[in-house]
Amino acid sequence: QSALTQPASVSGSPGQSITISCTGTSSDVGGYNYVSWYQQHPGKAPKFMIYDVSNRPSGVSNRFSGSKSGNTASLTISGLQAEDEADYYCSSYTSSGIYVFGTGTKVTVL
C-alpha cells in the first residue's frame, strides 16, 4: 500500500486561504468517505482535525474544512494564522482493511 500523495509544501500570507491536496486511488480515498486530516507541530503528537472527509471534531476551528472529489481529498485552511504553521497529514481507510497516511505537507505562513 503506497502512501497517499501530498504536496511537500504549501505557503500563504496571514489571512489568505490555502488548500492541501491528498491523492490516492479508488482503493482508498476514492472508494470510501473515510479520509481524515492531522496537524503536527514540531516535536508534538499529531492533532486530529477532520474526519469522514469533511467533519470537524469538537474544538477544531471552522477555518479548517475538508472535501473530496474522485481520488483526491483536500484540506482548506481559511484566514491563515501564524499558529497554523505546521505539518499536515491526510489518512484514508483502504479496501485491504488497513489505513494509509499521506506523505505530509509543510505549511508555511509567510
Partner 1 sequence: EVQLVESGGGLVQPGGSLRLSCAASGFTFSRYWMSWIRQAPGKGLEWLANIKQDGSDMYYVDSVKGRFTISRDNAKNSLYLQMSSLRAEDTAVYYCASMTHSSGWYAFDYWGQGTPVTVSS
Q: Is 69 among the residues that bind partner 1 (CB under 8 A)?
A: no
User: Of 18-26, 62-70, 77-85, 92-100, which part binds partner 1 (CB under 8 A)?
Assistant: 92-100
CA–CA separation, 55 and 106 (whole Å): 22
Radius of gyration, CA atoms only, the chain: 13
Type of residue found at 12: G
Q: Is 48 one of the binding residues for partner 1 (CB under 8 A)?
A: yes
Grid cell of 18 as nine digits: 490555502
- 104 part of the interface to partner 1, by CB under 8 A: yes
23 makes contact with partner 1 (CB under 8 A): no
Could you give the angle at the alpha carbon of 15 between the alpha carbons of 81 and 78, nearest 5°?
80
Q: Which residues bind partner 1 (CB under 8 A)?
A: 1, 3, 32, 34, 36, 38, 40, 45-48, 51-52, 55, 57-58, 89, 91, 93, 96-104
